[in-house]
Structure 1
Amino acid sequence: MRPQFMPYALHHVQLAMPEGREDEARRFYGDLLGLADEAKPEPLAGRGGVWFANGDLRLHLGVETAFRPARKAHPAFLVTGLPALAERLAHAGHQPRWDDALPGVQRFYVDDPFGNRLEFMAQGV
């Protein structure tokens, strides 16, 4: 029997970050990846962290006191210009780790400044 409700979309993905490193997050996610800084609602602004958006894509970085980077769990971003992004990240000191395990998918992994694992992919290549 089908439930009376059904999730239909993701609103956002949240990753943890250490306290006080919002500027570093803005440089990586904003300047390097091109995501726009999204204002946090006033009741949440005092908690620290940074929110980013690009169209329907939303990524929140929340401060975690006993921070430990996500090494396995990760968001996967579909991107255009994947090789150019890999070059841009490498030039900025974030070395891509290419993975060809999925047929028809070009992808790589990279760590954000806090050690969180991120995946970037292009399909149909």
Structure 2
Amino acid sequence: MSLIIGLDHVNLLIDAGDDALSTARTFYAGLLGLQPLERPANTDSGNPGVWYQCGVQQLHLTTEKDASSVNKKSRRHPAFRVADLEALRKKLESAGIEIIAGNRFPGQERFFVRDPWGNRLEFVERTGR
């Protein structure tokens, strides 16, 4: 019996600054369509941030000084399951977001992007073929 029953949330770091949360809202809520959640005032880091609902899981963004410099070098990433990968690709491309191809795996289509702070994001559509 596994004691782990699922993934609750993923936390990504974004740069600190006056416009960070506004930029996050534009990218994650406006462009990707994630629903903002109320964020408790007493988070462990004490840094500003924003939370989003992502299916039954959550995505948390926390500000940290110079986060972009680390993010842009990293290959770590969350993978978001999507219903229509091609529609998302077109929406991101029209917003000027660079699409980064991923290797092909059986039963799925996928690609990557970088958010405004260099976080690597994967988008996956399960195709069953």
TM-score (norm 1): 0.88
User: What is the 5 A alignment of 1:40-119?
Assistant: 40-44=39-43, 47-67=47-67, 68-69=70-71, 71-119=74-122
Contact 1:14–1:60 (CA under 8 A) maintained in structure 2? yes
Contact 1:100 1:106 in 2 (8 A): no
CA distance in 2, matches of 1:109, 1:55: 19
Structure 1: distance between partners of 2:103 and 2:75: 17
- Contact preservation (8 Å) 2:47, 2:64: no
- 2:16–2:66 CA contact under 8 A, matched in 1: no
> What code does the residue aligned with 1:39 have?
E
Report the count of equivalent residues: 122
Instruction: Please report how far the alpha carbon of residue 98 of structure 1 lies from its aligned counterpart in structure 2 after TM superposition.
Output: 2.4
Question: 1:87, CA displacement in angstroms?
Answer: 0.6
| Helix, strand or coil at the partner of 2:75 | coil
C-alpha separation in 1, matches of 2:75 and 2:82: 20
Contact 1:19–1:49 (CA<8 Å) still a contact in 2? no
Match for residue 7 of structure 2? 10
- In structure 2, the residue matched to 1:25 is 24
The alpha carbon displacement at 1:66 in A equals 3.6
One-letter amino acid of the counterpart of residue 69, structure 1:
N
| 1:43 aligned counterpart, secondary structure | coil
Deviation at 1:30, TM superposition (A): 0.3
Q: Greater shift after overlay, 94-103 or 16-25?
A: 94-103
Distance in 2, matches of 1:100 and 1:63, equals 31
Deviation at 1:100, TM superposition (A): 4.1
Q: What is the CA-CA distance between 1:46 and the residue it aligns to?
A: 5.8
- Corresponding letter in the other structure for 1:90: E
| RMSD value, Cα | 1.9
